Amino acid sequence: MANITKRSEDYSRWYQDVIQAAELAENSPVRGCMVIRPNGYAIWENIQATLDAKFKELGHVNAYFPLLIPKSFLAKEAEHVEGFAKECAIVTHHRLKQVVVDGKVTVVPDPDSKLEEEYVIRPTSETVIWDQYRKWIQSYRDLPILINQWANVMRWELRTRMFLRTTEFLWQEGHTAHATAEEGRQETLQMLEVYRWFAEEILAMPVITGAKTANERFAGAVETYSIEALMQDNKALQAGTSHDLGQNFAKAFDVKFQDKEGKVEHVWATSWGMSTRIIGALIMVHSDDDGLVLPPRIAGTKAVIVPIWKSDQEMAEVCAAADRIAAQLRPVVGPVHVDKRDNMRPGWKYAEWEAKGVPLRLELGPRDLAGQQVMMAARHDRRKQAAGFDVLAEAVGAELERIQQDLFDRALKRREENTHVVEAWDDFVDLFANRGGGFAHGHWCGDGACEKRIQDETKVTIRNLPFGRDETPGQCVKCGRPSVGRVVFAQAY
Amino acid sequence: MANITKRSEDYSRWYQDVIQAAELAENSPVRGCMVIRPNGYAIWENIQATLDAKFKELGHVNAYFPLLIPKSFLAKEAEHVEGFAKECAIVTHHRLKQVVVDGKVTVVPDPDSKLEEEYVIRPTSETVIWDQYRKWIQSYRDLPILINQWANVMRWELRTRMFLRTTEFLWQEGHTAHATAEEGRQETLQMLEVYRWFAEEILAMPVITGAKTANERFAGAVETYSIEALMQDNKALQAGTSHDLGQNFAKAFDVKFQDKEGKVEHVWATSWGMSTRIIGALIMVHSDDDGLVLPPRIAGTKAVIVPIWKSDQEMAEVCAAADRIAAQLRPVVGPVHVDKRDNMRPGWKYAEWEAKGVPLRLELGPRDLAGQQVMMAARHDRRKQAAGFDVLAEAVGAELERIQQDLFDRALKRREENTHVVEAWDDFVDLFANRGGGFAHGHWCGDGACEKRIQDETKVTIRNLPFGRDETPGQCVKCGRPSVGRVVFAQAY
């Protein structure tokens, strides 16, 4: 198994090593695209299942729109084309042709198959979806439309990093249409709250919810809200966004409806998305120098049973007992794996399952069997305790709950320890240059140019204007002009 | 609501009308690509859930590989490039640029963003997956690999038709790697059996399983097996395929392993897929002139309750009762919808739910409520019967089971009535030209050129060499040369 670089030595290398050791993903021969291996995809499947159930509970349905977008569509919303034109994969031909180059047979795009209008692989689907919504919406009776799509999208990123920033990524994108501005706003905030709930309750990842600044808004949005989490290297990561699109896309695609009073108006829109990027955050928030750490509620395998034996006779007995225990546990706690490989020592198995982030290990040797108990070892804090066969399901369930809560508490404590209130510019610069950074609550004048200068000088950005922020007036940390409240600054992924 | 053309008038138009009336899908502005609307996507979600659970039960796991394939990869397997080069979307640039053309601002691919090597949007993923498997496989201990992928793929089809043939479609593609030819063969046949089970038991669609001829094999396969269903217009539809790839892809991508004896050998491969095309088959096998008919096991909504009232007082009572009944039924039979719209008459609601293919309607008026019963009406045969509140869950469950079985029996009967044994060429030609076609069991010499002539003259193809086929020797229906057994012919989608 691969050695894992320590976080203190090289955080970025550690991240790659954890992904490799846990077999979550790897680079592919396609520029900036990764292969999501079964262990990584299992996490995504759990994310999908949990979010999808929640979306449906709130009245949303799924649909599927085309991968390709006519390039002219992108251009219809001015800010949108500005935001996405620089990083999109463009389809120009529809046939390959065999040719001989330097005596070797190869294939090239057939010039006769050049498309009249080029297509762009969707970087996001607002344009192609709103073009369709025009055909579906005439009256207030057709509203709201509450549609979500699970899809792959592509943005031609220059610097890529597995899960965090890849050319192709998987996500869900919700696209809703409403009869009033207020309803659209409520939907936007409701879905942000779903992301907060998901991050905190399922991924055990504390997040700050709030509005992005105008500079950081989604291309075409009236307001963008985000959830922001703090990683172990004290950089922030935007882990989900929800956009109030106002009437911008309805106007660009001419989508109008007749309200109850017979008045014709443009429709109000929202969109919201969470992507495979969240897996990168999940890895970075909880994992340690021995590999992946996963909160039980999102782990594919909740517990692994490692039977221990010296003789064939013992092997038969402990393996049979392990299978019985696993069968008892599964209906109560979810997937449980029994590692019966006979070409590997228990210690090696422990290390492997630790690297793969299984939250709980159950060790079962002949002496345990005689005593009708197993030894439970938690992945994240190594706590070991015996649990009798007669109370095993309850004990395992309780330990998994403890692990889930402890991971959240630990991450929250780390965030609090690395959250600062800053007043003076010197202090601000010093915090990020010399004192480890983190989240900084500071005043900002509200001017995008000033925000930009802060970023240029320190690589620090405004993550968001947190809900319930301190609105005591003050002076901008950078320029000293009046500020109506504090925003949260950080260096970010 | 849209009128539905009768099957007898224009079958192809009827098919489009059913899709429109049930709001399953519609054309998009992207050439040959459809939008799968929520009602259609709900069917796909049920297909995914059922197949995915079965794949996992058989030991498969899911993963995700890149959408884009370097064009040189396609060229590595000679037959493969031949099979797919003519119909693929090619990505050549990665940036749009704003330019002024005829005084108007527009966007064009930025010439400076031309890619060194073009990419093809995956028409299928064997090449990119086997390139990765090379890195994962060294020893027999790494085998088997049993991976499935849920993905979108793209083939630049000239003539498209919703669900049946679209430029982009959704599918699952299984890609497995094995240590022996026999194990690969067993996997190929096992997955074909999964498709048969799924088509017959879940979709109520009888299918013929068998091997394709060499001409019809997947590009790069040693053997391709298919399931073939008969539509109501007597055309056949290939609804799923499973390929024994032998060592072809392992050789093309140099994937070798060391076996238990230390011998180094190429790996054996399979691939197998089912796509959104199956929804087209599902529509065409069961539906009628009033719209969609769905077997209960794949229907998103199993039953719809239509409350009937004349006064506000009655409305309150029957709607409350309908909600109570729905809540009782859901845990037993699955999703049940209550249609409480107050701006539409019951008769219109009946027609709408019939068009949308809900298998069972429950009518509940004040008199029914007084009698503590509902009237059940089956979608496919209009059978109506009363069912008392006290036995409702059992009665609805039993009726849904009857519908499921009856749809299969009806489709099987239709297939049997349209299956013929043919001996003479004249009879063969007459069957397809004048007597309505269908499935024809006839002798074939085994020569691909002869098969091609049959197709050119009659548009009839060999669907497959059915398992358990009649192997009494005979003479080829076309050329009279010796034949070792009968194959099944049909005109096909």
Q: Which residues of B touch A93 (CB under 8 A)?
A: 89-90, 92
Looking at CA atoms only, how far is residue B152 from chain A in angstroms? 8
Residue A1 reports pLDDT greater than 60: no
Measured in angstroms, the CA of B201 and the nearest CA of chain A are apart by: 25
Distance from CA of B335 to the nearest CA of A (A): 13
Which pLDDT does position A85 carry in this prediction?
86
**Shortest CA distance from B145: residue in chain A:** A38
Residue of B67, B74, B92 with shortest CB distance to A168: B67
A148 to chain B: closest CA residue? B38
Question: Which SS3 state, helix, strand or coil, does residue A343 take?
Answer: coil
Q: How far apart are CA B403 and CA A29, in angstroms?
A: 50
**Tens of pLDDT, residue by residue, chain B (493 residues):** 568 999 999 999 999 999 999 999 999 999 999 999 999 999 999 999 999 999 999 999 999 999 999 999 988 877 878 888 889 999 999 999 988 888 888 899 999 999 999 999 999 999 999 999 999 999 999 999 999 999 999 999 889 999 999 999 999 999 999 999 999 999 999 999 999 999 999 999 999 999 999 999 998 999 999 999 999 999 999 999 999 999 999 999 999 999 999 999 999 999 999 999 999 999 999 999 999 999 999 999 999 999 999 999 999 999 999 999 999 999 999 999 999 999 899 999 999 999 999 999 999 999 999 999 999 999 999 999 999 999 999 999 999 999 999 999 999 999 999 999 999 999 999 999 999 999 999 999 999 999 999 999 999 999 999 999 989 999 999 999 999 999 999 999 9
To the nearest 10°, report the CA torsion of B6, B12, B15, B21.
Answer: -70
**Residue A68 to residue B120, Cβ atoms within 8 A:** no
Are A386 and A374 contacting, i.e. CB atoms less than 8 angstroms apart? Answer: yes
pLDDT tens, position by position, A148-206: 999 999 999 889 999 999 999 999 999 999 999 999 999 999 999 999 999 999 999 99
HSE (CB half, 13 Å, CA atoms) of B493?
28
- In DSSP terms, which residues pair with A362 in a beta bridge? A305, A376
Q: If you measure CA to CA, which chain A residue comes closest to B24?
A: A63
Question: If you count residue pairs, one on A and one on B, with CB atoms under 8 Å apart, how many are there?
Answer: 197
Full-model pTM: 0.96
Closest by CA position to A61, among listed A145, A167, A154, A5:
A145
The DSSP bridge pattern shows strands B25-27 and A68-70 to be unpaired
**pLDDT of amino acid B85:** 86
Q: What pLDDT digit, counting tens, does each position of B196-225 carry?
A: 999 999 999 999 999 999 999 998 999 999
At A6 the pLDDT is 97
Q: Which residues of B touch A62 (CB under 8 A)?
A: 38, 41-42, 45
**What is the amino acid identity at position A291?**
G
Kindly indicate the confidence band of residue A354, based on its pLDDT and cuts at 50, 70 and 90: very high
pLDDT 10s digits, A63-120: 999 999 999 998 887 787 888 888 999 999 999 998 888 888 889 999 999 999 999 9
Residues A136, A68 contacting (CB under 8 angstroms) = no
Own/partner contacts of B422-430, CB < 8 Å, gap of 24 or more, are B422/B477, B422/B489, B423/B474, B423/B477, B424/B477, B425/B477, B425/B478, B428/B458, B428/B460, B428/B477, B428/B478, B428/B489, B429/B457, B429/B458
Residue from B26, B55, B90, B171 whose CB has the most chain A CBs within 10 Å, to mutate: B90
Residue B382 corresponds to which amino acid?
Answer: R
How many CB atoms lie under 10 A from the CB of residue A257? 21
The alpha carbon of residue B302 is apart from the nearest alpha carbon of chain A, in Å, by 17
Instruction: Indicate which of B27, B30, B80, B140 best probes the interface with A, i.e. most A CBs within 10 Å of its own CB.
Output: B30
| Residues above pLDDT 70, as percent of chain A | 100
> Which of B70, B85, B128 shows the shortest C-beta gap to A95?
B85
**Residue B289: phi, psi to the nearest 5?**
-70, -10
A410/chain B closest Cα distance in angstroms = 31
Question: Among residues B77, B71, B111, which one has the least CA distance to residue B91?
Answer: B71
Q: Measure Cα distances from B80 to B48, B192, B218 in Å.
A: 27, 21, 8
**Residues found in chain B:** 493
> What is residue A343's predicted lDDT score, i.e. its pLDDT?
86
Nearest to A63 among B41, B75, B105 (CB): B41
ω into A144 cis (within 30 of 0):
yes
B107 chain-A contacts, CB cut-off 8 A:
71-72, 74-75, 81, 85
What would the pLDDT profile of A356-393 be if each residue is shown by its tens digit?
Answer: 999 999 999 999 999 999 999 999 999 999 999 999 99
The domains located in chain A, with CATH, are 11-90+123-286 (3.30.930.10), 308-400 (3.40.50.800), 419-491 (3.30.110.30)
